[in-house]
Amino acid sequence: MLDFTDQVVLVTGVSSGIGAAVAQGFASRGAQVVVHYNRNRVGAEQVVDDISEAGGSASAVTADLADTAAAADLVDGVVSRHGRIDVLVNNAGDLVRRSAVAELSDEDFHRVMDVNMTSVFAMSRRTIPVMRRQGSGSIVNVTSVAARTGGGGGSVVYATAKGAVSTFTRGLAKELAPEGIRVNAVAPGIITTPFHDRHTADAQMDAMVGAIPMGRPGGPDECVGAVLFLASPAMSGYVTGQVLEVNGGQLTP
């Protein structure tokens, strides 16, 4: 039932980690996947090559989604090339750097909020009219367990931005439900990705993993099923406004 044959799926932040795994998951089920990246062109192109070698269809596009105009141009380019967008996965985001609130600069504060929340707003705003014309569509946002826990050390603003993504998901779902557009989110817990390679020291990672009942971090592939489930009208056609936790039991609703 997870069949996306001939559907156009746009996934943001696909150079590595969860985004790369999600893009490959959609492609393996027949979707034409548009892979977005900001700085890591090599990583995104590797994802495209991997999909192509596996017999799938993918192309790469670039934009800094913290810039609302760039986000709009990206969506317009995808529609110009493919004619539609059936699924939008707002995965792009970053902690930027760990810092206590009292020591965080204005520049870093705004960057964290823009990369994680403004990008979701800008991409959704431009994609909604496309899905309205189609009479259907699915938006899946990637938030975080931090949205409910307040985050680990030095990540208060990141957690705040992800909390906003979760709230945006619920509100937008109610706004768009009458038009046949579903909006949901996946909230990963501790996942082994380059995100933690950049931002999490070994001791902090050990402490966070110690709080997970399953006793281990998750892998990017373990987030794919949740995203595909929420994107599929056959599997979740009556599901909207939900945040699906994928965290090994670290936090339960």
Element (H, E) at 25: helix 17-27
Catalytic: which of 4, 37, 158, 195? 158
Kindly write down the DSSP assignment for every residue of 157-219, as one continuous string. HHHHHHHHHHHHHHHHHHHHGGGTEEEEEEEE-SB-SHHHHHH--HHHHHHHHTT-TTSS-B-
CB environment 129-141: b (16+ within 10 A), e (fewer)? ebbeeeeebbbbb
- Tell me the backbone φ, ψ of residue 185, rounded to 5 degrees: -145, 155
Q: Which residues contact 53 (CB under 8 A, 6 or more apart)?
A: none
User: 103 by DSSP, 3-state: which?
Assistant: helix
Q: Is 213 exposed, middle or buried (0-12, 13-18, 19+ CB in 10 A)?
A: exposed
Alpha carbons within 13 A on the beta-carbon side of 137:
26
- Contact between residue 30 and residue 58 where contact means Cβ atoms under 8 Å apart: no
Known active-site residue 238: no
CA distance 224 to 24: 9
Q: What residues are annotated to the active site?
A: 158
